[in-house]
Every structure is written in C-alpha cells, then in structure tokens.
Chain A
Amino acid sequence: MLLVPCPYCGPRNSVDLRYGGESQPRPDPATATPEQWRGYLYRRDNPADWLRENWYCRSGCRRWFTVERNTATNEFRHPPMPGDKRGGKA
C-alpha cells in the first residue's frame, strides 16, 4: 500500500486518489509551437529519483495537489501545504 500525504485529508491509500503524473511547466499557448505542445503532452523525465508530481484526491477532498516522491523508494518529502495547486512552477 502506498500512503499519499494529502495536504487536506492527511495520509490516504493511493487507491483513493488518482495519480496525475509528472508536474511539468506548461508552455505558453500564445507562443508555443505544435512540437513544443506535443513535447509537453507526451515526453517525460521519468527519473529514478525525486519527482514533483500531481495527485487528485478522488474519494476525499476532491482537490488536486503537488508533492515530491522518490520513485525508487516511494518515499514522500515536504508534505505539501494547502493551496499548493496543480501544475508545476513555470
């Protein structure tokens, strides 16, 4: 079982949440080329290390949040603060 620290509900079994994947900066829709958009849509860093990622608390508070997890050990760090929204810093 993977315990995910929801900033609003506290630790929750990951099956109660939806995994939202890597949190990557979103290109500016006004200036991005189609290639840049596709890069944002499809390509991933996929590190075996610390990763900033998004979660949706599906059966709890129904909010998105961003958290850091080590993908090699599944350890979480820096419990996210309420208000930390979906989408990484650009």
Chain B
Amino acid sequence: MGSLGRRLGRGPAKYSAAALVWRGLRGGQWPRIWRDAELKRSYDAVIVGGGVHGLATAYYLARNHGIKDVAVLDKAYLGSGASGRNTAIVRANYLTPEGVAFYDRSLQLYNTMATDLNINVMFSERGHLTLAHNDSSLRTMHWRAEVNKLQGVDSSVIGPDEIKKVAPSLDTSSHPRYPILGALYHPPGGIVRHDAVVWGYARAADCMGVEMHQKTEVLDILCEGGDGTDGKGPGGRVVGVRTSRGDISTPVVVNCTAGWASLISAMAGVRLPITTHPLQAAVTEPVKVFLPTVVVSGSLHVYISQTDRGELVFGAAVDPVATYSIRGSLEFTEELAGHVLELMPGVSRMRLLRQWSGLCDMTPDYSPVMGFTGVDGFLVDVGWGTYGFKAAPVSGEQMAEAVATGRTPELIAPFALSRFDTGELVGEKGAAAVGH
C-alpha cells in the first residue's frame, strides 16, 4: 500500500481527485469502507439499528464528545431498513416552529456533509414544490410559508404562472379534475444520495474507532430495578443487551430501529405511541432530465422527483394497515399512475421499472420521539415515519449530546416521549402526510 490517498493514521482511503487518478493509473483496489471487528463483551454505549440514525448518532458521539467505545448493531446489513429504501427528499418547510427549527438545522448539516464526511452525497438543492388544489390546502401553504419566513427559512406561496416557470411539465391549466391553484415553493429543498449518506457516516465513525456489527440481532435488553418483569420498565436502568452473538454489558442503549422501534422498546418495558406501516415507492425507466424540482401533491397523494440518471421517483402516503410485511400492492401502482398522469399528462408512455416498500414508525402527530424514556440509560430516536431521512444529521448530533451530557438538548425537548402523557403534541400532519 502506498501512502498517497490514505488518511494519516488508521482509517479508510481518502476520497479525492488525486486518489482517483493515482488508483486509476496503478490499478489499485479501494479498501473496504469500514472494517469488521470482533464483538466485545462490553461497550460504553450500544446503538441498536444500523440505519442512518444509528450511524449518525455513533458518528457524533465520537466526533463531538470523544465517546468512541460504541457498537452499532444491526440484525441485517447497514442501510437495510428505511435508510436504503427512501426517496431521499430533504427540506425544512414544516408547519410548527419546533419542527422548522429542527429540520432547518439538519439542512445546514447536509450543506457541509460532503466535506465533513469526505464522500460525495450528491446533495442537490433543486427546490421543492407542494401543490395546492383547493382552498384549504392553499391556506395551509400560506400558514407554512409564514411560519417558515419567521424562522428565516426560504418559503413562499406562488401561483400557477410561476409554477409553470419552475416546472413546465406540470399541467397548470384549469382542465384537470383538481386544477393547481398555487404551491408552497421552498428553494432550499432537494434530494441527496441516501446510500452515500449511510456509508459516509459508517466510514467516518469507523475511522474514529466506532464498531459496526452487521447480522447481529438484539434479542433482549437487560435491565435492573424497574417496575416490570425482569427489572424492566420505568424506574429501572439498562445493564446490557442480549444479542444473537451473545450478551454485551453496557450502561447506555439507544433505540434507532424505526419500523421495529416498538419491539426494541418493549424489551426495556417502554410502550411507544407508534404503529408500523409500510410506505411504497416506485421508479421509472430513465429519460432525459426534464423535471427540475421535487413536486408534491397532498390532495392527489403523490410526489415526484427526477434523479440525475433521469429516472422518475414516485411516492405516496403510507399504506393504511399496520403491518411488518413489506409486500407491494397493485392498488398502490394503479392509484399512483392515475395521479401522476393528472399532474403530468406527458409521461403517459413511460414504464415503471421497480416498486418497493419499507417500514415506517408512524406517530399520532407526525413528529418524532427523541430522548430519555424513564428507564435510565435507555434512549429512543424513533417515530421517524416517512420523513426521517432528512432528520438524520440533526438527530445524530442531538442524541449524541443527550447521551454525553445526560440532559435533553433544547432543540429536541419538544419531541420528548413524555408529550404523550401531558398531551403537548407537535402536529405536523399538514406538512408530512404525503410530502416526506
């Protein structure tokens, strides 16, 4: 191994133009981007779930707080959950002041991510249009625009003529059954390459000494002193986890398992306000790039973006029935196709290539559940529903701070689990039910 293209000390190859040329000339293989390690018997902290949230939390624990004796455990492979299945839309145009402040911080972190993690995450700030087809959704768009502007987030309501300029392929005439009356336009919104974000966090965390263990399923959480059976439940504390590869002792367990969050929390005796629903998505064959922004229509239950490769990516709202099965359905495809054609009659000849589905941990108010749980050492970073990918950077940063300081950071205080006891919900349905 030569030294060019290597970080000082341990860690993965540095990605740069020079390294690319050098490896191209020399024909050298790129090393694996994170290492395998032996599973130890004890860690300072264990993170359950190797999706983008678990990996971001591990990264910020090591980077911001020097807590590096951390294991991220995943029952399958990194990014096998929703993190590898989402439609990668990032935006901050939410409805509540708490939500806007939180997601805006995440957008800021996305802006510098490629440099911070030394990986090309293909973050494309291409703008985000949420269409209104009736007066009540137009009213919600105005509401969101005002809340956004107050917090310095770039959003405004635009009319059909301007929409036509931003996205000429949309049918803005009065002919459709539900004509487009206006839209919330949010220029900083866009898309990102989701796999690169997952791999980037894994690689950077690995570089600082965090261990990632794939095919390591958490079977139980070992507790002491709680009110429930086996010392679980409120008032108790975490002492370890039981995995498919043996027991590990640890004082801190962070639940980052999204669709499976209720199952992991139940292992610590914590009942969550969550139900698990599949969300389906689909992608077409690639065509020449014609759609410059992300387009969402709540009334038509559909959203569309076009990748740099030219495929149209479609999504909708979650399947209505709670289930852990991720089988797709014909109803989804039929409905989707009908609605897309109402918006963009021009794509009627395009063919769908693939359709897939992932699990979403839905909460009653469409906001996440983050922080402490009443069981000492057991934290949750869950309730990510259909909107959690964009939130990973800020969540990782804030959850790491909670673990390191033992206190709830201000930015995530509104999302505490206890809000479901006090009734202080953070209603984001108007900004998150269809547009993710």
By a beta-carbon cutoff of 8 Å, the part of chain A in contact with chain B is 1-2, 13-15, 18-19, 21-22, 34-35, 38-39, 41-48, 51, 53, 71-74
Contact = CB atoms under 8 A, between A and B. Distances in A.
Main secondary structure of the interface of A (DSSP, over half): mixed
B330 A1 contact: yes
Contacts of B272: 43-44, 46
A46 B321 contact: no
A77 to B, nearest CB: 15
B420 A74 contact: no
Interface of B: 260, 262-263, 266, 271-276, 320-325, 327, 329-331, 364, 420-423
Given A1-B331, A43-B420, A48 B274 contact: no
A43 B322 CA distance: 14
A45 B325 CA distance: 17
B274 A46 contact: yes
B275 A39 contact: no
A58 to B, nearest CB: 11
A46 B273 CA distance: 9
B399 to A, nearest CB: 22
A86 B327 CA distance: 28
Contacts of B325: 71-74
Given A74-B323, A74-B325, A44 B273 contact: yes
B421 A39 contact: yes
28 contacts: A1-B329, A1-B331, A2-B329, A13-B331, A14-B320, A14-B321, A15-B331, A19-B320, A19-B322, A22-B275, A22-B322, A35-B421, A38-B420, A38-B421, A38-B422, A39-B420, A39-B421, A41-B364, A42-B364, A44-B271, A44-B272, A45-B262, A46-B274, A48-B260, A48-B263, A48-B324, A71-B276, A74-B327
Indicate the member of A1, A42, A73 with the most B CB atoms within 10 Å: A42
B240 to A, nearest CB: 23
Given A46-B262, A71-B322, A21 B275 contact: yes
Contacts of B320: 14, 18-19
A47 B263 contact: yes
Nearest to B417: A43
Contact of A2 (B260, B321, B422): B321
Contacts of B266: 45, 47
Contacts of A22: 275, 322
Contacts of A43: 271-273, 420
A39 B421 CA distance: 7
A47 B262 contact: yes
B274 A44 contact: yes
A46 B421 contact: no
A19 B271 CA distance: 21
Given A38-B420, A38-B423, A72-B324, A46 B330 contact: no
Nearest to B261: A46
A34 B420 CA distance: 11
Given A71-B322, A72-B324, A42 B420 contact: yes
A73 B325 CA distance: 6
Contacts of B422: 38
A21 B329 contact: no
Contacts of A38: 420-423
B192 to A, nearest CB: 29
Contacts of A72: 323-325
A55 B271 CA distance: 23
B324 A71 contact: yes
A66 to B, nearest CB: 15
A44 B262 contact: yes
Contacts of A42: 273, 364, 420
Nearest to A75: B325
A47 B294 CA distance: 35
B274, B321, B325, B420 pick with most chain A CB within 10 angstroms: B321
A22 B364 CA distance: 14
Contacts of A71: 276, 322-325
Contacts of A73: 325
B361 to A, nearest CB: 9
Nearest to A1: B329
Nearest to B364: A42
Contact of A44 (B275, B321, B327): B275
A45 to B, nearest CB: 7
